[in-house]
Amino acid sequence: MSSQLRQSKSVQASAGVALLDREQSILAFNERVFDWACRADVPLLERLRYLCIVSSNLDEFFEVRAEPHLAANQRKDDKGLFSVESFKRLAEIAHNLVARQYALYNDALMPALEAHGIKIVSHGERTLEQRRWVKGYFEREVRPLLLPVGLDPSHPFPQVANKSLNFIVRLGGLDAFGRENEIAIVKVPRVLPRMIRLPEKVCGHRNYFVSLSSVIRGNLAALFPGREVGQFSQFRVTRHSDLAVDEEDVKNLRTALRQGLQHRHFGEAVRLEVSAGCSEHLSDFLLKQFDLPEGALFRVPGPVNLVRLTQLIDLVHAPQLCFPTYHACYPTQLSAGASFFETLKQGDVFIHQPFESFDGVLAFLRQAVNDPQVLTIKQTIYRTGSDSELMDLLREAVRRGKEVTVVVELKARFDEEANINWSEMLESIGAQVLYGVVGLKTHAKMMLITRREGRQLKRYAHLSTGNYNPNTARLYTDWSHLTADSQLTSDLENIFVHLASHSRLPRLNRVLLAPFYLHQKLLEKIGQLGAAAASGRATRIVAKMNALTDEAIIHALICAGQQGVKIDLIVRGACMLPAQVPGVTDNIRVRSVIGRFLEHSRVFYFSSDDQQELYLSSADWMNRNMMRRIELAWPVTDPVQRQRIVDEELVAYLHDGVDAWDLLADGSYARVNSKGRKQPHGAQNALMARYAGHDDARGD
């Protein structure tokens, strides 16, 4: 049988493979994050932090992913991808996860924290002195900001913002006009802190707190003088919050997004959370108001917004209950104070964040800003945060007379407002601000610096798998690549020109660019390895990313595996490829690593016999990254640095015996079994230990 015929049969076989459900895979990822909140070997406050992370992730899941399922459930006649059954399946999984969250919170974390003198004191547990203090706090700080709304024909149900804290109250007796309107709503302003520390005079030296919801709960009667407060409940509604702007039909994208942000907090309701003791009368009333089915109702035995418990973590000073502080070393290939431009003439520099410090990237930009020979700075901005030294450096570059061009992605989800503000600030001081290509998000991370050196202009560049955000750079694993390579820098120059002028893109030397070549080239490389394996050559694919949901790539991988390619995929989050299915994907292993730091690097390794290729990338293997974004993948050609990345980013994670999970044939994940291993290692811990020895090289 010819190799072409074998490949054709493999394609047919893979096309019949049932892929895993994307939404269920996202929820399964949150199950793995939740496991960190359950682990006894994790410091107590960090366990609480992971619990909050799961809640935050679930919020985003409902804000972005739940609406089509909910719409299908309500229509009852959907024949497409989403259906009544799909809504019920997701609701069941989400309800189960939320129930486990609150069980852990109430039965394990809160008692353990109390044993360390940290306690959220409920209304029923407060001493007389504590109740007096809370009542005084309510009268001084809270009551003046509350405006209870009694519902009647002239006072309809008020607009309730996305994820805001509110109370619904059922009142007895008559109002001031002799009417029986019984339902009132109390909206709680976001400016109020959700956790309040009790003063030492009423609790001694212990870390005692009260929640804002319990402060209001204990004083509801004071808000309704002359009425009897009967049933009541806190509640929180989650709304669909994915901004949709028809870019083809707007004259100014920034203005359109600014207007859209004003309405984001009041999108279609997709989830309702109420107190566990909320009466059916009140919960049914709320479901009707928000036009939600019963499956969208979550009764929770605790605060309706666990995310806000991060305030408690910040208020408690207990280092023994947190991870030991990790100080990233200054990048090992750099010498503090040395010229970046001279260093890069000798060879490329790679920085493994957060084990090595992002300060190396900031120092590179800072040196460019202060160097009078640097003429231009071009950079993409996706998520840089609302308070960024990097943006301050760009502003200083403009002040010093350099030509600064910034491609700002206004549609970076949930960072739109910060990016709009940065774009307006930079534009106001004379920087050239661009917004990329209509219909495509600019997700690529690149910086290009042009410097006059004698009679020549020399380019230097930074490329990254992650964002230009100094804060998340301490928490996310990523690779930064500093280079003076003429082919790479020429490619970046052409890409910036393309983004600015929309002119035809010339053939690039090394960079694989989406949406033009990246998807096609990945499919070609996977197919070539499949053909090589079918001819008897030793082949291997190892790829690390955040998500794998592109169906064309998945089917190509399945085909390659069936032809004999050994494939290891390290996928942190959603993965639709069913691994280790007997007779179908026997050669494909999928694992997920959840650690102290958020795994964020994208690394793609292809080998056939002695030929090796390794790419770093800003792109996950998702259809949106391949077809609806500006993304980069670029090769690492230095054999020493390539092996370093293979060792630290691929080998280490494939041998992780502490924080890794393996995808099983039935679509579930199982945490790796480290029994029998003398000293099982976690990849992140090993990397922290490796780079800790370079502390003495840390820069200023």
Residues belonging to the active site: 443
Among 408, 435, 623, 442, CA closest to 519? 623
Angle at 298 between CA 292 and CA 300, to 5 degrees: 155
CA 491 and chain centroid, separation: 29
Give the amino acid at 350: F
Q: Are strands 629-635 and 441-442 parallel, antiparallel or unpaired?
A: parallel
Give 258: exposed, middle or buried? Use CB within 10 Å, 0-12, 13-18, 19+.
middle
Rg of the chain taking only CA atoms, in angstroms: 28
- The interaxial angle of helices 67-75 and 44-65, nearest 10 deg, is 50
Task: Phi first, then psi: give them for residue 309, nearest 5 degrees.
Answer: -70, -10
Q: What are phi and psi of 390, to 5 degrees?
A: -60, -45
Extract the tokens encoding 292: 């939600």
Q: Kindly give the pairing relationship between strand 566-571 and strand 539-545.
A: parallel
Measured between alpha carbons, how far is 347 from 429 in angstroms, rounded to an integer? 35
Beta bridge partners of 667: none
DSSP-derived letter for residue 100 is: H
Short-list 450, 445, 514, 518, CA closest to 486: 450
CB 555 within 8 A of CB 526: no
SS3 378: strand
**Which residues are CB-contacts of 493 (< 8 A; sequence separation ≥ 6)?**
448, 459
698 Cβ neighbours under 8 A, 6+ residues apart: 327, 329, 330, 336, 357
Packing angle, helices 518-534 and 551-562, rounded to 10: 10
